[in-house]
Chains A and B, each alone.
Chain A
Amino acid sequence: MERILTRWLDIPDLRKLDVYVGNGGYKALRKALFDMKPEEIINEVKNSNLRGRGGAAFPTGVKWSFIPKDSKKPVYLCCNADESEPGTFANRYELELDPHGIIEGIAITCRAVGAHIAYTYLRGEFTVQKRILDAAIAEAYASNYLGKNILGSGFDLDVFTHRGAGAYICGEETGLLESLEGKRAYPRNRPPFPAIQGAFGCPTVVNNVETLANVPHIINRGADWYKSIGPEKSPGPKIFCLSGHVNKPGLYELPMGFPLKDLIYDVGGGILDGKALKGVIPGGSSFPIFTAEEAVKVNMDFESVRAAGSLMGTAGVMVMHEDTCMVDALKTIAHFYHHESCGQCTPCREGCGWIEKLVTEIEAGRGKMEDLKVLIDAASNMEGNTICVLADSLSMPVKSFVPKYRDEFEAHIKLGRCPFKDRDGKAGGLSAAAGH
């Protein structure tokens, strides 16, 4: 298949402005500025069925159309480059290798929603990426793709970059806005939604890096072309982040709806050491895990993954083979969300720590059978009851790991230790443990 989002593999030095322009770059921006009205841009993106790539899969054109048309306040665009979902590493390479693709997407989006200021919020660790993006922005200003009266169109746009200080919650769109405003990144209650009251109390669109990177291609080649890639309801090219026990982990651009089985066994080169597949988290660590049997039947698009009982999220596909201790895996996930909970809402603040403690005890062989019920209770009580979805992000793994791998949890409790380790705590394997 033609590489669209990952053109950098085919075009060396795509990050440089002259190379980018030489390969059709900023053509879409010209089209958006001179040949299309803002409503036409919004409609084109609406018709393309582009859905947000940051995890929530909300239709991008619809999100844009929520911005009030006659706003007396300024409108802002925030490009969410706080990529922090465990198992996800696509935005990082997009920023490094195709910064102008993102800038062009930002400029077109701003034209569509009437924004004259855009912020790119980068995660704290993205120091190199910020440098690269800043350099590209400077190039774009120098060639009047940004700044005043862009290309003589009369449209002004300033783009700023802002680096966070290293918290997962800053990637949540309202946490991001709070952080951008210089405050503690506590997610906000909705309503009001950012489209009405976002950054600095003004109408704001928050879009993920990859979402924005899709926009120039849609403007260049049209909604129908875009919809022809993958399933109609969630079409387009998608960058999959494949990690874990596969022979060829990495970034793969594939059409939406690509079979997960082929992603693992074909594109990913199969399971490490020829072992058996045990489970796959399809969308970053926040989502329910698929067992091996479930995984091989799923196609990777928003609808199919949802129908199969999980969510595609950021397409951070994490593969675990038969030697993985699922209690240990859940412990790692619980540790992450406990560490990253902002602590604003009671259920998440207290529940994440509780769950980590419970899973840690079970993993260490100090668990009790009733802990399994408490785990599910705590997870259920967190879910859907908080301001943002961080609580759900731990609840969903718990509520899938425990029932799907219940025998492993029970084995830890009955044995009084991890069956994947020998009595000295060294990693062995379930088969090794069976002999004891």
Chain B
Amino acid sequence: MPKLTIDGKEVDAGANLNLIQAAELVGIEIPQYCYHPGLTIVGNCRMCLVEVEKAPKLQIACNTRVAEGMVVHTKSDKARTAQKAVLEFLLINHPIDCPVCDQAGECKLQDYYMDYDQQPSRFPLPEKNHKGKAIDIGSGVMLDQERCILCARCTRFFDEVTKTSELAIFERGDHNRIDINPGQPVNNKYAGNVVDICPVGALTEKEFRFRMRVWYLHRTASVCGGCERGCAIDIHHHRGRIYRFKPRFNPGVNSYWMCDEGRHSFPALQNETRLTSPLVQSKDQLVTEPWGEGIRRAASIIADYRRRYGPNSIAAVVDAQSTNEEAFALKQLMKTAIGSDRIATLSWSPPGASGDDDLLIRANKNPNARGLAALAIPADGLDGLAAAVASGELKMLIAMRADLVRALGEEEFVRRFGALDYMLVLSSDANETCQMANQVWPIAAYPEIDGSFTNFKGRVQRINAAFPPPGAAIAAIEAIARLGHALDGVDRPSSADAVFASMTAAEPAFKGLSLATLGEHGADLAS
């Protein structure tokens, strides 16, 4: 392990680290544009020039490996002069259109100008080079060539990560411009990543443009619910609305990236169809009722069925969109408060959805299919439930997040489950299954709750509540706890941490884990 000194601080660095990474270890930020840890090093921006003792010239930190005894100065006069100069060069032909630029507020040109430059322009505005603006390059990405600093992060992403090379640099010198090949727009399921890694406002997202100033956005760490990969994300939100998903680095899951399907999956989480009140079927119509009445009604129906037909007349279907905690809480409720062992998983992906690819996208569009399997909730239990309905043993169904009508088709649903006496549906949205239900409980969507998902490789990752659910909707685990209490008077845990704790005690697969210690990268299942 080489020991070196950066700005007077001793650093014990890994042998393969570059100076940017080594400096990070002791909390020193070396400014950078072209360097990205997920891409090869090109060293073209020259922003990370630092002074290395005994080297004849300033060195770029990104392409300089640590070495024993190296003495590095990132803030010496020479380094500062070079860093300030690079910013001056970068801004010569930059349009300085921050007031109308979506990147403003998260722009490395702005940030570093304040940190390293702060001098008035010495270049007359009318002489700036002009290039293309607001070019729709495809896949929802907009290009402004004048704002571009030619760091080549985007071209490297398409060259190295997706290996599709849709973008290239054309012309030369200060006429250089990023562009698509003529007539070949970007058509790439990962295109949004080039917007993320663009350090300036050259690449922006069509859907996000002009929607929100980024300094109003709050970030909440979460996991994309778009498929069983479970890419780590940050939810960017403001006043209870999600404005965008951004990938969050997780080396064991998604590296720095996410797919565009996942990226654009958030509008479905805040549709007009969101349920805001408990509902009950009355004269062929769903009408609202207070939670208290809904809980009491469901509890008395369950008690009634248990008495008349036995506990196995009641079953539950848990959708693989549910969190580990939701699934475990419902499984426990079925076992302890109802005494039924009838529980099944619905793990359904819409027909025509994208299949597995070599990068991130998975055909199974559920974020927690593996979690339900780890909780031993049978994946093929639906047929058994249908048979029990047919034989008259099964009378009541509790469906959590499971849109059975959409998954099976209305005809098939009616054929299999039409004979049920009673259906309680816990759902975030008013879907077709709700229309068939006797009772509907509005529950929080995953951006609104704490909890965890287990991805297809068994990595358990934490999700966090970004904001409260709409209206009277509550977290599903809270609804389950209240129902349980109404059934047997026992207090059940209703916070995600507490449910997780009982889960690790009861479920061998989750042994040794705790929600608090999952960290930003999550942890693998015990088995």
A-to-B contact residues, CB < 8 Å = 167, 169, 184, 186, 189, 338-347, 349-354, 357, 374, 377, 381, 384-387
Contacts and interface: CB of A to CB of B under 8 A. Distances in A.
A354 B174 CA distance: 9
B88 A381 contact: yes
B150 A343 contact: yes
B430 interface: no
Contacts of B174: 338, 341, 343, 349-350, 352-353
A395 to B, nearest CB: 12
A25 B42 CA distance: 45
A347 B89 CA distance: 6
A167 B172 contact: yes
Contacts of B92: 350, 353-354
A345 B93 contact: no
Interface in B105-132: 122-123, 127, 129
Contact of A350 (B43, B63, B90, B169): B90
Interface string B156-182: 000000000000110111111000000
A276 B172 CA distance: 39
B45 interface: yes
Contacts of A186: 42, 44
Contacts of B90: 346, 350
Contacts of B89: 346-347, 349-351, 354, 381
B176 A347 contact: no
A189 B123 CA distance: 29
B419 interface: no
A306 to B, nearest CB: 15
A353 B46 contact: no
Nearest to B60: A189
A357 B42 CA distance: 28
A339 B173 contact: yes
Contact of B63 (A189, A338, A351): A189
Given A184-B168, A346-B89, A352-B173, 5 more contacts: A186-B42, A339-B173, A346-B45, A347-B46, A349-B174
B57 interface: yes
B475 interface: no
Contacts of A357: 127
Contacts of B173: 338-343, 349, 352-353
B47 interface: yes
B149 interface: yes
A341 to B, nearest CB: 4
A345 B172 contact: no
B49 A385 contact: yes
Interface stretch (B78-86, B220-228, B298-306, B317-325): B78-86
Given A346-B149, A384-B58, A354 B123 contact: yes
B96 interface: no
Contact of B82 (A339, A353, A354, A385): A385
Contacts of A189: 41-43, 60, 63
Contacts of B122: 374
9 contacts: A184-B168, A189-B60, A343-B169, A343-B175, A347-B46, A349-B173, A352-B173, A353-B174, A381-B88
A340 B309 CA distance: 87
Nearest to B81: A381
Given A344-B44, A354-B92, A354-B123, A349 B176 contact: yes
Contacts of B85: 347, 377, 381, 385
B86 A347 contact: yes
Contacts of A374: 122
B244 to A, nearest CB: 29
B45 A385 contact: no
Nearest to B94: A350
A352 B89 CA distance: 10
A399 B428 CA distance: 69
A381 B78 CA distance: 10
A380 to B, nearest CB: 8
A356 B92 CA distance: 13
Interface in B92-107: 92-93
Nearest to A354: B92
Contacts of A339: 173
Interface string B31-65: 00000000001111111010000000110100100
A338 B93 CA distance: 14
Kindly list the 8 A-B residue pairs having the minimum CB-CB distance in the complex, ordered from nearest. A381-B85, A343-B176, A350-B89, A341-B173, A353-B174, A343-B173, A384-B57, A189-B43
A384 B129 CA distance: 25
Contacts of A342: 172-173
B128 to A, nearest CB: 10
A343 B151 CA distance: 10
Contacts of B176: 343, 349
Nearest to B65: A191
A385 B46 contact: yes
Contacts of A345: 43-46
B43 A346 contact: no
| Chain A CB within 10 A, most for which of B44, B92, B93, B150 | B44
A346 B123 CA distance: 16
A354 B93 CA distance: 9
A167 B149 CA distance: 22
Contacts of B57: 384-385
A346 B172 contact: no
Interface in B251-295: none
A54 B323 CA distance: 67
B42 A341 contact: no
A330 to B, nearest CB: 18
Contacts of A377: 85
Nearest to B89: A350
A346 B46 contact: yes
Nearest to A353: B174
A341 B172 contact: yes
A75 to B, nearest CB: 24
A343 B168 CA distance: 13
A345 B62 CA distance: 14
A381 B127 CA distance: 21
A354 B86 CA distance: 13
Interface string B197-218: 0000000000000000000000
Nearest to A347: B89
Contacts of B172: 167, 169, 340-343
Contact of A381 (B41, B63, B82): B82
Contacts of B150: 343-344, 346, 349
Contacts of B81: 381
A187 to B, nearest CB: 10
Contacts of B44: 186, 344-346, 387
B113 to A, nearest CB: 14
Contacts of A343: 150, 169, 171-176
A169 B173 CA distance: 11
Nearest to B170: A184
A342 B172 CA distance: 5
Nearest to B152: A344
A346 B41 CA distance: 15
A364 B125 CA distance: 19
A169 B176 CA distance: 15
A159 to B, nearest CB: 30
Nearest to B90: A346
Interface string B238-257: 00000000000000000000
A407 B31 CA distance: 40
Nearest to A357: B127
Nearest to B84: A381
Nearest to A386: B46
